[in-house]
Chains A and B, each alone.
Chain A
Amino acid sequence: EPEVTQTPSHQVTQMGQEVILRCVPISNHLYFYWYRQILGQKVEFLVSFYNNEISEKSEIFDDQFSVERPDGSNFTLKIRSTKLEDSAMYFCASSGGTAYEKLFFGSGTQLSVL
């Protein structure tokens, strides 16, 4: 079965630093997502991306966050100036259609902000 690939699997950064999390969605998918899970808490929606623009975002996704699809294969999440509370597991996902359809998730990037 096709997979969503995320790199790196672990990222450690200093507070205030910029970090870029990378994802390679499934090649023929049209919708792309970022979710995160803070340790011991629920998986939370951050943003969805379709047709080269953000289609929906949550309150968490403030001006410190941005997403980009720089080429035909990668989908990135940038945190401009990381905060301690950004420490979480970040999941990328993609789907061929809307969220009614099956979402394929990557195995996540564990971000630790020190």
Chain B
Amino acid sequence: GDSVTQMEGPVTLSEEAFLTINCTYTATGYPSLFWYVQYPGEGLQLLLKATKADDKGSNKGFEATYRKETTSFHLEKGSVQVSDSAVYFCALNNNAGNMLTFGGGTRLMVKP
């Protein structure tokens, strides 16, 4: 079945550091890929998405590129802020239904 694997956290960075959170997937067909973010005490929010190979999703300074050849969708940000501290979830939808398959989540902590 479909699956998503994320790097385990927590990831601890200083403010203005470069962020990469790795995400790889296993799926049949051509899934759509997503990054969701969960800030403390809140629900998951869509951060960005990409629906086909080589698409780049971007939002709030975060980027991720859909790499079919490596089945990856790594999340990057050039300069993190304390307010980026949250849990980040990579997910896929295999376009055969309404189900999102999530990775385990990666907690990011940014220190001033």
Contact = CB atoms under 8 A, between A and B. Distances in A.
A17 to B, nearest CB: 26
Interface size class of B (residues with CB under 8 A): 20 to 34
Interface string A76-114: 000000000000000101000011101111111000000
B43 A108 contact: yes
Contacts of B4: 42
A31 interface: yes
B95 A102 contact: no
A106 B43 contact: yes
A56 B32 contact: no
A56 B43 contact: no
A48 B99 CA distance: 7
Given A43-B105, A99-B97, A103-B44, 11 more contacts: A4-B43, A42-B105, A43-B91, A55-B97, A98-B98, A100-B49, A100-B93, A100-B95, A102-B46, A105-B44, A107-B41
7 contacts: A41-B104, A43-B44, A45-B101, A98-B98, A99-B98, A104-B43, A105-B45
